[in-house]
Amino acid sequence: MSERRICRVLGQHRSTQRKIPRGADGEQALTEDIIALAKQYGRYGYRRVTALLCHAGWMVNHKRVERI
């Protein structure tokens, strides 16, 4: 069967079938570093943890750290 017909039957757009999902690079390593800093400095918030990560060489903003 054609892609067009299958997508019509399923009610999906064809563009959703072509896009390959990609994960964020280094997300797991960043998460581990955030958890390690949170354990070491329990009372630090996400802004201070962001500053510590920037000093450690990560290029990350506070919104991403807060989300993780």
> How many angstroms separate the CA atoms of 31 and 24, rounded?
11
CA distances from 2 to 5, 6, 15, 21 (A): 5, 6, 14, 22
Number of domains in the chain: 1
Range of the domain at 64: 22-68
Residue 45, domain member (yes or no): yes
Residue 3, domain member (yes or no): no
> What's the pLDDT tens digit per position in 3-60?
899 999 999 988 888 777 776 778 899 999 999 999 999 999 999 999 999 999 999 9
Residue 59, domain member (yes or no): yes
Residue 47, domain member (yes or no): yes
- What pTM was estimated for this model as a whole? 0.64
Question: Is-contact 45 51, C-beta < 8 A?
Answer: no
Residue 7, domain member (yes or no): no
Measured at the alpha carbon of residue 64, what is the angle toward residues 63 and 67, in degrees to the nearest 5? 85
